[in-house]
Amino acid sequence: MDQSATAEHLAKNSLQRLEKWMDANGYSGYDPHDIKGAPIFLYFLKPGHNLLIKAVRRPFFYFIDYFPRLSRKIFGIKKTTNAKGIALFAKGFLNLFKITGDPKYHGKAIECLDWLMANTSKGFENNCWGYPFDWQSGVYTPAGTPASVVTAAVGDAFWTAWKTLGDQKYLDTCSSICKFFLEDLNIDPINDDTICFSYTPLDKFHVHNANLLVAEYLIRVGSETDRKDWIATGLKASNFALIEQNEDGSLFYWAADQNFYSPNTIDQYHSGFEIRCLHGIWRHTGDSRYRKAVDDYYAFYLKNLVVQLGENDFMPKMTPRSLYPINIHSCAEAILLNSLMANENDAPRGFLDTMLPSILSRMQNADGSFAYIIRKTGNFLFTDRTPYIRWGQGWMLLALSEYLSYKNRPGK
């Protein structure tokens, strides 16, 4: 087999092994951030601590990083079912149903979609979803608080269900999600033609990937339902990314007015989200400004967030400065983004079929699940093989399904 056929074979085999693990273990599990909802970690994550508290918290976070199972046992962290993870599985199963026609994938997708409809965030008129644990990121956010990034991921699953299965109830759910974005998130005016959506109803954060996920979804669903007002609002939010895009094509995680939180942060998976959102906005509007934004950002990505380690060994970098830590979420996003871009761009075709086997060889556990992270301290490598459900299994199932969708597109 040539390299392309070998990679496709490995992807199918990897997916089968992951499915077998999922069938045995189910959809509930741990998450990298669940333990940070424990009271002591919520306290440590509050802003404004003095140097002594900051020094004391370091060994606590070191402990949970290197002893993930023991720390969850000590702090009584229970397994949960994560709406974002269920959404990733739902879309992945729908992709596989489209590729194979196998009714088992139809059944698994419906099971996930039904669970999502039965487990929306409480107290909101429109459909929305959040994380199943408390979290602290400048603002304390209780479990179940709807978040733009979670709701957008769930919305993507229902959109895929609408386009794949044609049931009107799924499009109605997409419309309800748009109403949540418009009616319940905070919307800050930047100028007459520019706005920014918040991360949750509880904050006024200006986070580019969250804002773009909302913007792209409003434009996508608005185009499908002839809601020109949704499209117009989505474009106002999209403009925020255009005016903030750096000269090299990148976007920082935080907008310029809040860049003090974690200055000039750029990483693999948030960059991937942003490029894919900009691509979706261009696809639905035909606006050449967004095509240029995609091209500039992707050129930055190829130069700074992919590394060749050997003749047949490409890997996604975590940040422009470092390959490590090798995070499974970054690996999945690299497959997702480059599978999308390979349809129209020769650049990813040269490394995608070598990067995927490199990822699988490093990150897939013997039992078929995916490890969380490979950390490097000095010359020492430590692999945390915890199979986090949303962060690893959900994202990798979706990524593998998108890679196989790319491989099976007509005319490819």
Q: Each residue's pLDDT tens digit in the chain (412 positions)? A: 688 889 999 999 999 999 999 999 999 999 999 999 999 888 888 776 667 777 778 888 889 999 999 999 999 999 999 999 999 999 999 999 999 999 999 999 999 999 999 999 999 999 999 999 999 888 999 999 999 999 999 999 999 999 999 999 999 999 999 999 999 999 999 999 999 999 999 999 999 999 999 999 999 999 999 999 999 999 999 999 999 999 999 999 999 999 999 999 999 999 999 999 999 999 999 999 999 999 999 999 999 999 999 888 999 999 999 999 999 999 999 999 999 999 888 878 878 999 999 999 999 999 999 999 999 988 999 999 999 999 999 999 999 999 999 998 865 5
Residue at 3: amino acid letter: Q
Q: Is the whole-model pTM more than 0.85?
A: yes
Tokens for 24, please give them. 């045995």
Q: Is 120 helix (H, G, I), strand (E, B) or coil?
A: coil
Residue at 118: amino acid letter: A
Distance, C-alpha 239 to centroid of its chain: 22
Neighbouring CB atoms inside 10 A of 296's CB total 18
| Measured distance CA(143)–CA(138) in Å, rounded | 15
- Residue spans of the domains in the chain: they are 1-30+307-412
| Residue 222 backbone phi and psi in degrees, to 5 | -60, -40
The beta-strand segments (E) located in 145-276 are 187-191, 194-197
C-alpha distances out from residue 316 to 230, 331, 335, 386, Å: 35, 6, 9, 20
Pairing between β-strand 326-327 and β-strand 373-377 as defined by DSSP bridges: antiparallel
Q: Is 359 helix (H, G, I), strand (E, B) or coil?
A: helix
Q: What is the DSSP string of 44-75?
A: HHSTT--HHHHHHHHHHHHHHHH-HHHHHHHT
